[in-house]
Amino acid sequence: MASGAGSNFEALVHACGDGTLPAEVALLVVNNPGCGAQQRAEHLGVPWRLLDHRLFASRELLDQALAQAFQDVQVDLVVMAGWMRIVTAELIQAFPDRLLNIHPSLLPSFRGARAIEQALAAGVTLTGCTAHLVREEVDSGPILVQAAVPIAMDDTRETLAQRIHHQEHRIVPLAVQLAAQRLGLLTPAQG
């Protein structure tokens, strides 16, 4: 699931393609027509589907459609790779302990949509990214993998985001592997 540029989605596709992660990306769902993630899917030959959140009467109805889309292609895990929407119990319960999120902070610090800005405003010297299982409380699920990123004195939102994205690309495939191992979908020897 992606809403924006899709760099985490592409990192996951490449990890599957080069054998780093013994898995396959079966479907990308985007909520913004023509977003970068959709364009990357087309370029990479990955099936994609648009479920525009603006066309659904509620978050629950969107999440029911998301769950159905993933169930239709029989996925084992769902990754929220830059999905800029809060999900509901409809999706979480359809994929219990099988729904992963990547978040641009060292959780539990700086939850929510503006984590990078929060870190800069707080004046901390270290932030990072977290891959975690999704629960109904935003950015609260069990942590799978984290990576630290130092904050430089002259960092802007853009420069810090670029370094955080670099680490996200590294940890997303690892988080998928760990989640799959926890569920018995992969053995430790397969990862």
Which stretches of the chain are DSSP H helices?
A: 7-17, 36-44, 59-72, 89-94, 115-122, 157-182
Cα–Cα dist 76/25, whole Å? 10
> Would you state the structure tokens that stand for residue 5, as one six-digit string?
């540029």
User: Is 103 one of the annotated active-site residues of the chain?
Assistant: yes
Tokens 């999900």 correspond to what residue?
Answer: 87
Q: Considering the candidates 53, 103, 132, 165, report the single residue annotated as catalytic.
A: 103
Residues annotated as part of the active site: 103
